[in-house]
Structures are given as structure tokens and as C-alpha cells.
Chains A and B, each alone.
Chain A
Amino acid sequence: MSESAVLVEGAEAQAAGGDVGDARSLGADAWRSLRKSPFFWVSAVLILIFLLMAIWPSLFTSTDPTKAVLKEARSRPSDAAWFGRDIQGYDIYARVIYGARASILVGVLTTVFTVLLGGAIGTLAAYAGGWVDSLVSRITDIFFAIPLLLGAILFMAALSGTMTGYFGVIFKVVMALTLLGWPSLARLMRSSVLQVLPNDYVQAARALGASPWRIIRSHIIPNAMGPMIVVSTINLGAYIAAEATLSFLGIGLTPPVISWGVSINDAIVGLRTTPHMLLFPSLFLSITVLAFIMLGDAIRDAFDPKSR
């Protein structure tokens, strides 16, 4: 049924634009299959909501997240405070809404930086080859030997006391995660560039006299970045979780920054008596991470021609 509908649609497109406007790139093909994936739509809607939360938290709540009502501390969910109040008497609902900004900032910024840094270094290593490639590969090996959490803890401990403002603290966490996250993307990019390089269209561009920059920009990167997009989308969720972990351990974001990790850390004292303090920030964190991983999966399926 749906297939015949597509056929009819295609025929109409042909009739309307002749066979001239029938250009479909691989990206367009991926989008067509993405549109049919329920996982894509669920994760996209969730991510949209979280993004709105991060940009305009006041759309979702009019309560001030920094207003502590100490006499109602640890109260259970009620009409006045939907998710209850935490140990300081803050409204948990407002804290969860405002916490989205820090988590998503960390996730998005870390992803952007790792993609730029890892992608550039990986491309360079593969394109230059020789000793540059060997050097980069060995450096990534060294970074792989450092566990993410241990490395981040060391980094944050070494920089404790510096950069204390809201963005300063966030930037510090982003730096720690980027420093430990770029090598995996650099390796991924290196291997996909190595796959693209021997193709004749790269040779043809060289024979035409194209500069290395043009070859990298218009031939190599467009053909090699598919795997990196997928992996970094999945990583975005992982970085949010890593930020929460660091904050939970007390070395990531610290109050007065409002973040899910900080809230979880604060709530741990009431684990048995007032578990709602723990439940809501954890729930939001899990859903966000899940949404990004689901999106990454959906994109991977869409870009993988074998799955069609």
C-alpha cells in the first residue's frame, strides 16, 4: 500500500518536473527512510522538547529554581510543587527544567568540539600518511589507555579553583570530556578517509590540479563523515551521562550551577526516605540520553544502504 503510494508520488513528480528535477542525493535517500522510522520521530520530539527546555526554561515553569523554601524541604510531590521539594527546599520540577540547559550544553559542546578536533586530526593523519599518521595513531593509543572517568577526575582536580562562573564550570567539563573523547573520533575519521582516498574520483581531482584543501573539502569529507555523524550523535548522550557522573561525584558542575548530575548528587542522602528527589532528575537524564542514542541509531540505519 505504502509502496504503491510512493510509486504514484514518484510518477507525479516525474510528470510535474519531467525527469529533470528527479535528483536525489544519498542524504535525500536517508531522509526518506528516516521519515518512516518511529524511533526517529519519538527521539526527535523528545530532543526538541529538551532543547526548548534548555533555551527557554521559563516556557515550562514560572517557579524560580533558586528559591528555597526550607520549611518544606524534602516534601513529597503536591499541587504546589509537582515533583516535590529537595533537601534545600528547592522546587524539583523547576530544578529539573533548568538543569536541562547545563546537561545539553555540555553534551552539544563536547560533541561539536570532539567532531571538529577528532575529525580534523583524523582527516589530516589519513591524508598526510607517513610519520604524521603513525604519530597520531600512537597518540590516540595513549589516550585510549586512560579511562574516561579517571582522566576527567584528574583533569577537573588539576583545574579546581579556576573558571568558577556558570559557563566557566561548564567549559571546564566540556574541555575534560573533549580531551578524552577526540581520539576515538579521530580514529574513526582516519579509517573512513583511508577508505575514500584510493577512489578514482580523488585521483581525478588530483589530475585536474585540485589543491589538497579542495580535495579534502569537496571529495573526502562529504564521503567520509557518515560514520562520524552517527557515532557522535550516540556519543552526545554518553557525554551527558558522563557530565552527570562527574557532577554526581562532586567534581563536575558544582552549585550554583543547576544540573541533573548536581541534583542527583544532592538527592543521594534521601535515597531510602525520599526517593522522589532522586527519581525525577534521573528520569530526565535517562530519557535525554536514550533520545540521543535512539536518534543516532535511526540515523545510522538510514545512512546504511544495506539496511534498506
Chain B
Amino acid sequence: MPEVILQARDLVKHYPIRRGILRTVQGHVKAVDGVNFDLHKGETLGVVGESGCGKSTLGRLLVRLEAPTSGTVEFEGADMANASGKELRALRRNIQIVFQDPYTSLNPRMTVGDIIGEPFEIHPEVVPKGGRRKRVQELLDLVGLNPEHINRYPHQFSGGQRQRIGIARGIALDPKVLICDEPVSALDVSVQAQVVNLMEKLQNELGLAYVFIAHDLSVVRHISDRVSVMYLGKMAELGHEEEVYERPTHPYTQALLSAVPVPDPTLRGKRQHIVLQGDVPSPANPPSGCRFHTRCWKAREKCKTDVPELILRPDGVGEHFSACHFAEPQVIVPTTDVSDVEPDERFAEVDHRDPATIAEAEGTLQDADGLRPETTTEAQANLFAPIQDDEGHPGRVPDERRDV
């Protein structure tokens, strides 16, 4: 296994709740409450969980947009969470963030060149002054945008293109870690696939490590090497993608996975659907012991008193990290990883390109959206590759692109 590049230890973020005339602290919202993980060089760690579980706060802690209440974030041994001034500034070069909403993440008054060039002005030592414009154009090319659009403003781009600009800004300083805070959640499904493919391409070319925060389980499975599941500010389960998806041992993960739509119509109705009772408890007053015990069908007395540690627990085949006293694997849905499977021959003659691409190839349509044609075709081809499973079920509609 490659070396550990980013290490979070007992990361805690509590937001004070102030009430009354004197604004006294009445309690804390425990957004992130003791998170531990290692991120290895060049890997992708997916973070999933429902709204309000602390995923985004975790991301913001990792790039030090928020100062943690306690705990450390070590980047190659240097503590980022407690650094300040020059030291922090230097560390920031190594770890960058891509935001969810491409419509608010770009300054509307700056040209694309200024937006992507800003990192070089903040860290002038990275690229000498004369070479910056050229470097910005290289970055635009790298993320699949027309380098000649350097003088355009963000409002002249579509959502997917704007997200590419956000990614270009994120990788401008050549960071080693990129935190992706729901980078595709605001995009429509076909564009999601393009952006995810771009991120995989960049990872291969630049050796980036990703922390990929999302709530879409299939997107996370597609891109991640390891996956962690968060519930109420704590990690419930952490393991390799197939360990978490195929042999989940934590009841919350099992419930979460059972909610994913199944693309295979022959399997519909045959699987177990776990419906949880009640709502997520308030993070200001989380349950004692195991945080999930209020909704868990396995809960016993022990769960109410003892906090389960996130330790290696057997999952039937091997073992992976799980925070449940009664961890046992349960197959939720039979899954097949089709990432490396060749498309079925019966469908080889179908033209997978979309009408715009075909028209483009025939020269009837101008390259109006600024995407390089090969990128579109590439993305399109990749988009369809993983969605046909080896039994010949052609999930041709991107909506059905679920790996679970």
C-alpha cells in the first residue's frame, strides 16, 4: 500500500449554540465528533452519508476552512489543523478543494484566466510571472476546455464547464490532495459522468489523492478505492469499496445500501429493503453510546451505554473497519463490478454517441460550447462502458447507471 499522505486523528468540530440575552453557550452542535482516517497517495476515499451528517464540515476541516475544535490533520507529518501564518499558507498548496455549486464557486466579475491564475498570484513561487498565462491555458486544456476561452467570464459557460474551471483552479498549484465536496451533485447525470471521468483522468495523470464527498452511492462506488460511511458526525464504516458495498457490517450502511435503486429489472422486488424508523437525531444532542441505536433494529442495552470503536471487524471474507458492537455482514443486493467488462457484442453496432456529437463529426454543428470534441466522445464512451453488465442487460439510460 502506498504511503499515507493525509492523516486525520480524532477530528472534532463543535459549533456553539448561543441563546438568551447574554448569548451564553447553551450547548454544541457536534458536526464532526471524532473522525479518524488515513488517505494514501493517489487513492480516492469516498465519504457518504445523509444530509447533515457532517460530510461537508469534514471537508472544510481538511482544507482548514474551519479550525477544528480538537484533533489533528497531518499532511505528510505536518499538522495542518494547528498551523498558522506562513506555515499554513505553504501547506495550503498541497491540499485544495472543489465545491459543490459551480454557480457560486466562481467569481462572476473575474475572467476564467484571472480565476485560474489567482492561485499563482497568491503563491508566486509556483510559476514565474511570465509563464502564468501559458500555464492557465495548459490547465484549461487539461480539464477539457478550449484554452482560447481564457478571457471569458463564468456566466458564459454551462454548469459542467464551470465545474471544470473549478477543478482547474483546484489543481493549479499541483496539490497532492484534492477535497471534492459533492463536486457532481449540482450537475445533471450525463454531465456528472463527464466530470467524474475527468477527475479519474486527472488522478491518473497527476497522481492526486481525492477525498470524494457525495451522497450518491453509485458515483462514490464508481470513483472510490475506499469508502467511508458517516452518521451523525462519526464514521460508521470504513473499508475498500467492495468490502463496504458487498459485505457491509454496520446496520446503517446496510440500510443506506438497501435504498439504492437496482438497475437490473430481474432483481427488482427480490431484495431486502430496510426502512429505518424515525428521523436522524439532532447533532446538538446525539444519542449516548452508539449514535445509531435509536434507529437500529439490532440495538441492545450495550449499544445505549458503550460507544462502539471504529476497529477491524470480520466481514465474512476478511475484515474491515466498522463501528458496531454486533457487526456482521449482510448481503443487501447482489452486485457485479462491471468497470472492466467489455461492452456486450450484441450492442456493438449501436451508435453510442449523442446526436450533438454525431452532428459535430459531420460538421453541421459548430463547437459552440467550447468542449473539445474528443473529450465529449471520450466521456460519452466512458459513460456507457460501465453500465452494461456481463449478463447483457444494457443499462443504456444514464439514469440507471447504478453499480449496486
Interface assignment of A201: CB less than 8 Å from any CB of chain B: yes
Interface assignment of A5: CB less than 8 Å from any CB of chain B: no
Q: Is the CB of A23 within 8 A of B97?
A: no
Q: Is the CB of B110 within 8 A of A23?
A: no
Q: Which residues from chain B contact A210 at a C-beta distance below 8 Å?
A: 118, 122
- From B105, B108, B155, contact of A204 by CB (8 A): B105
Mark contacts of B134-156 with chain A using CB atoms, 8 A cut-off: 1 yes-contact digit, 0 otherwise.
00000000000000110111011
Given known A-B contacts A200-B105, A204-B97, A204-B99, A20 and B151 have beta carbons under 8 A apart: yes
A15 to B88, CA, bound (A): 48
Q: Which residues from chain A contact B119 at a C-beta distance below 8 Å?
A: 208
Interface assignment of B93: CB less than 8 Å from any CB of chain A: yes
Given known A-B contacts A210-B122, A214-B122, A199 and B153 have beta carbons under 8 A apart: no
Q: Is the CB of A22 within 8 A of B156?
A: yes
Q: Which residues from chain A contact B88 at a C-beta distance below 8 Å?
A: 209
Interface assignment of B216: CB less than 8 Å from any CB of chain A: no
The number of chain B residues with a CB under 8 A from chain A is 38
Q: Is the CB of B153 within 8 A of A25?
A: yes
Q: Which residues from chain B contact A18 at a C-beta distance below 8 Å?
A: 148
Q: Is the CB of A208 within 8 A of B65?
A: no
Q: Is the CB of A219 within 8 A of B122?
A: no
A74 to B96, CA, bound (A): 77
Q: Which residues from chain B contact A203 at a C-beta distance below 8 Å?
A: 60, 65, 97, 99
Q: Is the CB of B97 within 8 A of A207?
A: yes
A33 to B64, CA, bound (A): 42
Q: Is the CB of A223 within 8 A of B122?
A: no
Interface assignment of A256: CB less than 8 Å from any CB of chain B: no
Q: Is the CB of B109 within 8 A of A208?
A: no
Mark contacts of B100-114 with chain A using CB atoms, 8 A cut-off: 1 yes-contact digit, 0 otherwise.
110011111111000
Q: Is the CB of A222 within 8 A of B148?
A: no
A: which residues have CB within 8 A of B? 18-26, 199-201, 203-211, 214, 218-219, 222-223
16 contacts between A and B (CB under 8 A): A19-B148, A21-B151, A200-B99, A201-B106, A201-B115, A203-B60, A204-B99, A204-B105, A205-B122, A207-B65, A207-B92, A210-B118, A218-B118, A223-B107, A223-B108, A223-B109
B: which residues have CB within 8 A of A? 60, 63-65, 88-89, 92-93, 96-97, 99-101, 104-111, 115, 118-119, 121-123, 148-149, 151-153, 155-156, 166, 169, 173, 370
- Other than the given A20-B149, A201-B115, A205-B122, 8 more pairs (CB < 8 A) read A18-B148, A25-B109, A203-B65, A203-B99, A206-B65, A207-B64, A207-B92, A209-B92
